Amino acid sequence: MYVCVCHGITERQIRRAVEQGARTLGDVQMKLPVGGCCGQCEDCAREVIRDCQRAKAGASTAVAA
Ligand code: FES
């Protein structure tokens, strides 16, 4: 799914950036130009980042348990 239409950035690309260590939208923007044009995608991008972080936290909890 495209998150940022202006730059053609997909949810998968954002998830990959989070897996590589990005924690905030600003971190993701260091790797991808998401939100760098009209800004309409920023809320959706933040939601993808949060969802990915929750998944990572759940995975590490499952490993620790
Ligand atoms: S949709 Fe992402 S900057 Fe416009």
43: CATH: 1.10.10.1100
This prediction has a pTM of: 0.88
- Which pLDDT belongs to residue 26? 98
Dig out the tokens for 7 from the structure: 């730059």
Element (H, E) at 26: helix 25-31
Report the separation in Å between the CA atom of 64 and the middle of ligand 1, taken as the mean of its atom positions: 38
Protein residues whose CB sits closer than 6 Å to any atom of ligand 1: 4-7, 34-41
Mean pLDDT of 21-31: 97
Given the CA of residue 5, which atom of ligand 1 is nearest to it?
1
Please tell me the residue having the least CA distance from ligand 1 atom 2. Answer: 4
Query: How many domains, in total, are found in the chain?
Result: 1
Domain residues for the domain of 41 are 2-64
Percent of the chain at pLDDT exceeding 90: 85
Dig out the tokens for 40 from the structure: 């309409």
Give the pLDDT band of residue 59 (cuts 50, 70, 90): confident
Decide if pLDDT at 18 tops 70: yes
